[in-house]
Structure 1
Amino acid sequence: METGYSKWRKLDNAALAFPLVTGKDDTRVFRFYCELREAVDEEILQKALEETMEKYPLFQAVLRKGLFWFYLEHRDIRPVVKKEKKPPCSRLYIPDKKSLLFEVSYHENRINFEVYHALTDGTGAMYFLEELVQNYLILAHPEAKLPRIEPVEEITPGDQEEDSFSQYYSADLPRNKEKKPAAVKLKGEKVVHEEMHILEAELPVKELHAKARARGVSITVYLTAVLLCAIHEEIPKNKQKRPIGLMIPVNLRNYFPSQSMTNFFGWIEISFAFQEDTTFEDVLTDVKEQFKRELTPEKIAMHMNGYVRIEKHFLVRMVPLEIKRYFLMAGANLGSRCITAVYSNIGILKFPEEYRNYIERFGIFASTDSFQLCSCSYEGKMVLGFTSKLPDDSIQRNFLQILKKEEIPCREKKNDFPGCKEQYKKEDKKVFQLFTFLCIAAAVLCGMINYLTAETLNWFWFAGAGCLCTWLIVTVAYRKRRNLLKNEMWQLLLVTAIAVLWDIFTGWRGWSVDFVFPIGALTVLCSVPLIAKVQRLEREEYLFYFIQAAMAGCVPILLVWTGLVKFTYPSVICGGISFLVLAALFIFDLKDTIREFRKKLRM
């Protein structure tokens, strides 16, 4: 069925580095949830999710890796509602694993929407969750005849998946040459992701707004100043000369007309250097001036163009991703030198009055590698979501204490995340560690036996090399275990390289290029369609590996032509079959073949 959405699309500028810095302890996942006044029905929630996906099918995508950039590709994977069992904000993107980049779960009366940040930002997630909750309540209460939230204007598929960064990029704008001093970093041994501290608090928007208005500031400015003061109380005196820096994400849709559901956010950096006599009023005044200075259309456009300019630089585009990743990671680390923590205010969620009897509140929090605060509001209640990898919750307590001193009533919400109670086993890792130790032990044992029996180490080097080769082959198989086709290509490359080295160091006889490489390449080529059929892979999942295997299978012909191959039968057979496969792909399936090259080689 034609939906008007692209089969694949490039990552937007804000998401380019996310796959490179994602790991088991920094998942780049955030949770947006809705707490209802009634228990959630799994069957109805599943139907609501399926209706929501009809409106937002661009979320039905997996992250894939090209030669120069990552990209998103549509997949016919049915999203399934699950009962909450995993720790909040657990990994959604795992390299080589075919899975969607979001997950809908529930626990008692809470609907959770967790999403990988490379797929969308807080605004896109808010639209999705609003649609999901609306669909659920309409299905759950048909007698109430709840009204639908109608968009102000129709949003087309092209609007939803627009890369607004590229749309509004202008090479004519000046560069931002402002350099900010390095900020103080929050120290302490970080806890693992499963033990991430999550604290939520609920504030009345009316009192908070009144207090902020009396000081002549917005709620966001007010809470930013509170967070700066809360962090300051935990900074050792010998490091208080450095400023405390906060990253404040900014919704660029407020400055550039866009209906994109992909990432379209920038950020400003707010910093303050405390003195011994600094008061809360001093912090408020300075933060207000910084917001006023940074949140101008000219400054926002300058910052946005700076991000995109790097992506579009010719040298950056032409460098392969495996090399580029180190520069991007270094750039991300360099950019974070001015950041102590993050504060993200999503804003207000609005539903028609008829929904008030069914919805208790909304909340949001995000995974972090250090400390982050998120907030959102609904029906006069603001919910703060603190997440921290620090060993204690002193900053959170300081924050709430400051609010109490400011006479703003706040109520800490008791967390109930069943996944945090689970003890996750890491048996695969332990098995691999045991295997590594056994390989080392086997090599050492061979060395001991060789020396004790011959008082020299002659055949030990062969045994040690054998153990190393075995470890390398098994390691690659373990690392690439989630993608069997990619595993095969890596194994072909590795086994060929090992065979050539053994051939060279044992007195060149040519068996590595006469037999190992052509037979291995032909085996991989023939196995690709078989694996694709057994695993029921979609065409996009195996086509490029099929092309790669066919191209690798043509290399033995070149070796025959150069005279390196002495026994030519395996090489000629392998090369002939591989060439015919390539010819068939370009003759009978030209469109899909070229599209695969375009995706993988997009610079």
Structure 2
Amino acid sequence: METGYSKWRKLDNAALAFPLVTDKNDTRVFRFYCQLKEKVNSDILQQALDQTMEKYPLFQAVLRKGLFWFYLERRDIHAIVKEEKRPPCSSLYIPDKKTLLFQVSYYKNRINFEVYHALTDGTGAMNFLSELVQNYLILAYPSADLPRVEQIEETTPGAQEEDSFSQYYSADLPKNKEKKLAAVKLKGEKLLHADMQITEIVIPVKETLAKARSYGVSITVFLTAMLLCSIHEEIPKNRQKRPIALMIPVNLRNYFPSQSMGNFFGWIEVGYTFADETVFQDVLESVKNQFKDKLDKEKVAMDMNGYVRLEKNPLVRAVPLEIKKYFMMAGANLGSRSVTAVYSNIGILRFPEEYKAYIDRFGIFASTNSLQLCSCSYEDQMVLGFTSKIPDDSIQKNFMRMLREEEIPYKEGKNDFPGCGEQNKKEEIKILQTFTFLCLAVAVICGMINYLMLETLNWFWFAAAGCACAWLVVNVAYFKRRNILKNLTWQLLIITVLCVLWDHFTGWKGWSIDFVFPFGTLTVLGSIPVIAGVSHLETEEYLYYLLQAAMIGCIPAILIWIGIVHYTLPSVLCTGISFLVLAGMFIFQKKDTLSEFRKKLRM
């Protein structure tokens, strides 16, 4: 069914680095959940999700890698509701594995929406979860006649996938030349992701707002100052010369009208350098002034333009992603030097009065590589979600102590997460480790036998090289196992290179070029359509690899021309068949083939 959405779209500016800095211990996934007053019915939740996807098919996308940038591509993958079993915020983006970038799960009374940050931001996630919960409750309680909350202005497909960064970018705006000071870092050994500490604190909105107003500040400023003070208490005296700084995400939709469901956020950095005589009011006043200064629309626009200016730089765009990623990762690490922790306030979720009988609260928390606080509110409950990879929970305890001192009642939420702390055993890792040890053992044993028999190591080097080749081929097969077509291409290149090296060091006979390379290429070329058919792959999933194999298959013609090939039959067959495959793709699948070129080569 045609939805009006593009088949593929580039990542929003704020999401460009996410795929590069994602790893198993910082998944860049955040969870937005709704706690109901009754247990969740999984069948009804699946129906509600299907309805929600009709409104937001933009989320029906996988992340793919181009030559210059990553991009999102729509795929016909059915989103399935699952019971919660994995640790919260577990990996959703797995390189080479084409899966949706979000997951809806349930546990007892809770509906969880977990999403990879490259797909959307907190505002997009809030809209999706609100629609999902609304659909679920209307289906679950038909007799309640719950009113449907419709947006005043229905978002169009084009508006949802709009690149708001580019829309509001202006090359005329000056750069923000403000220097960022290196901030205090939370040092020490970090927990694994499965052991990430999750602390939820529920506070009343009215009493917290009254307390904040008594100081003449907003709730966000008030909580920011409290977090800075809570962290300060855990910093040794010899490291207190540097500021403690928080990264505060900023919803750019508040400054630039946008209905985008992608990422459209910036951030400010708010910090304070503590002294012996510092009191809480000093921190509050400083944070208040920093918010006022840095959230000025002109400064927000300058910061936003700074993000986009780098992306639009012709030199940066022309650098291949495999090279560019190292600079982007270095830039991300350099940028994090000015940040101690993160605080993200998503805002208020609003539902009609009739929904209060069914909804207890909403909550949000995110994966982190250090410490992060997220908050949201519904009715009179504000939920603060701390996530931490620091074994010690002193900062969270300091925060709760400050709430008591400020006479703000709170309750610490029960962390009822079935997968939290669960260490999933991966037998394949053990098998790989065993294989590595066996390769070393075989090489060592060969060396011992060679020396004991001949008192030399003449043939040991061949045995060791053979073990190294076997280890390399198996390891590449393992790490590229999620995408068998990419695996084939890698194996072709690696085996060819290894055979050329063997041929060279054993007195060049040319068998690697005459036979291995052309027959290997033909094998890959013939395997791709078979695998695509058996696995029922979509055109986008195999066309690029078929194109790659066919182009590689034309290389033997060059080798014949420069006189390297001696036995020409395999190379001629390989070149001819590869050329016909290329011609067929451009004649019979011209539109899809050119589309793949455009996606992969988008600068």
Deviation at 1:421, TM superposition (A): 5.5
Deviation at 1:370, TM superposition (A): 0.1
Determine the structure 1 residue equivalent to 2:22: 22
Q: Given the alignment of the two structures, is residue 194 of structure 1 paired with residue 208 of structure 2, yes or no?
A: no
Paired residues, number = 603
Determine the structure 2 residue equivalent to 1:209: 209
Determine the structure 2 residue equivalent to 1:135: 135
* 1:386-425 pair list within 5 angstroms: 386-420=386-420, 422-425=422-425
* 1:204-603 pair list within 5 angstroms: 204-420=204-420, 422-603=422-603
Q: Deviations over 1:399-435 (max 9, x none)?
A: 0100110011111111100112534102211211111
Q: Distance in 1 between matches of 2:434 and 2:442?
A: 12
Against the structure 1 CA distance between its residues 421 and 186, is the aligned structure 2 distance closer, same or farther, given a 3 Å change threshold?
A: closer
Q: Distance in 2 between matches of 1:319 and 1:502?
A: 34
Q: Distance in 2 between matches of 1:346 and 1:515?
A: 61
Q: Given the alignment of the two structures, is residue 5 of structure 1 paired with residue 29 of structure 2, yes or no?
A: no
Amino acid at match of 1:245: A
Q: Distance in 2 between matches of 1:432 and 1:245?
A: 42
Q: Distance in 1 between matches of 2:423 and 2:264?
A: 37
Q: Distance in 2 between matches of 1:12 and 1:423?
A: 34
Deviation at 1:21, TM superposition (A): 0.7
Q: Distance in 2 between matches of 1:177 and 1:510?
A: 60
Q: Distance in 2 between matches of 1:181 and 1:17?
A: 22
Q: Distance in 2 between matches of 1:502 and 1:494?
A: 12
Q: Distance in 1 between matches of 2:413 and 2:517?
A: 62
Which is worse superposed, 255-264 or 502-511? 502-511
Q: Distance in 1 between matches of 2:388 and 2:356?
A: 32
Q: Distance in 1 between matches of 2:573 and 2:421?
A: 58
Q: Distance in 2 between matches of 1:244 and 1:401?
A: 19
Residue 553 of structure 2 aligns to a residue whose secondary structure is: helix
Q: Distance in 1 between matches of 2:393 and 2:47?
A: 39
Q: Distance in 2 between matches of 1:392 and 1:207?
A: 29
Q: Distance in 1 between matches of 2:325 and 2:448?
A: 42
Amino acid at match of 2:331: G
Determine the structure 2 residue equivalent to 1:149: 149
Q: Distance in 2 between matches of 1:297 and 1:423?
A: 46
Determine the structure 2 residue equivalent to 1:176: 176
Q: Distance in 2 between matches of 1:440 and 1:168?
A: 58
| Contact 2:32–2:363 under 8 Å retained in 1 | yes
Q: Distance in 1 between matches of 2:532 and 2:176?
A: 49
Q: Distance in 2 between matches of 1:442 and 1:404?
A: 65
Q: Distance in 2 between matches of 1:358 and 1:371?
A: 32
Determine the structure 1 residue equivalent to 2:58: 58
Amino acid at match of 1:299: K
| Contact 2:27–2:367 under 8 Å retained in 1 | yes
Consecutive unaligned residues of structure 2, counting only runs of 5 or more, are none
Amino acid at match of 2:158: G
Q: Distance in 2 between matches of 1:150 and 1:483?
A: 41
Q: Given the alignment of the two structures, is residue 161 of structure 1 paired with residue 161 of structure 2, yes or no?
A: yes
Q: Distance in 2 between matches of 1:541 and 1:503?
A: 35
Q: Distance in 1 between matches of 2:154 and 2:34?
A: 25
| Contact 2:195–2:422 under 8 Å retained in 1 | no
Consecutive unaligned residues of structure 1, counting only runs of 5 or more, are none
Q: Distance in 1 between matches of 2:423 and 2:267?
A: 37
Deviation at 1:596, TM superposition (A): 0.2
Q: Distance in 2 between matches of 1:381 and 1:422?
A: 30
Determine the structure 1 residue equivalent to 2:125: 125
Which is worse superposed, 143-152 or 251-260? 143-152
Q: Distance in 1 between matches of 2:421 and 2:434?
A: 28
Residue 174 of structure 1 aligns to a residue whose secondary structure is: coil
Sequence identity of aligned pairs in percent? 74
| Contact 2:366–2:387 under 8 Å retained in 1 | yes
Residue 261 of structure 2 aligns to a residue whose secondary structure is: coil
Residue 412 of structure 1 aligns to a residue whose secondary structure is: strand
Residue 419 of structure 1 aligns to a residue whose secondary structure is: coil
Residue 554 of structure 2 aligns to a residue whose secondary structure is: helix
Q: Distance in 2 between matches of 1:347 and 1:421?
A: 29
Deviation at 1:457, TM superposition (A): 1.0
Q: Distance in 2 between matches of 1:372 and 1:423?
A: 22
Q: Deviations over 1:60-102 (max 9, x none)?
A: 1000111111110111110100011000000000001121000
Amino acid at match of 1:96: D
| Contact 2:194–2:421 under 8 Å retained in 1 | no
| Contact 2:485–2:545 under 8 Å retained in 1 | yes
Q: Distance in 2 between matches of 1:286 and 1:531?
A: 62
Q: Given the alignment of the two structures, is residue 35 of structure 1 paired with residue 35 of structure 2, yes or no?
A: yes
Q: Distance in 2 between matches of 1:396 and 1:422?
A: 22
Q: Give the alignment's Cα RMSD to 1 decimal.
A: 0.7
Determine the structure 1 residue equivalent to 2:75: 75
| Contact 2:550–2:582 under 8 Å retained in 1 | yes
Which is worse superposed, 122-131 or 170-179? 170-179
Q: Deviations over 1:156-204 (max 9, x none)?
A: 0000001111111111111111112100000121010000000001000
Q: Distance in 1 between matches of 2:274 and 2:181?
A: 14
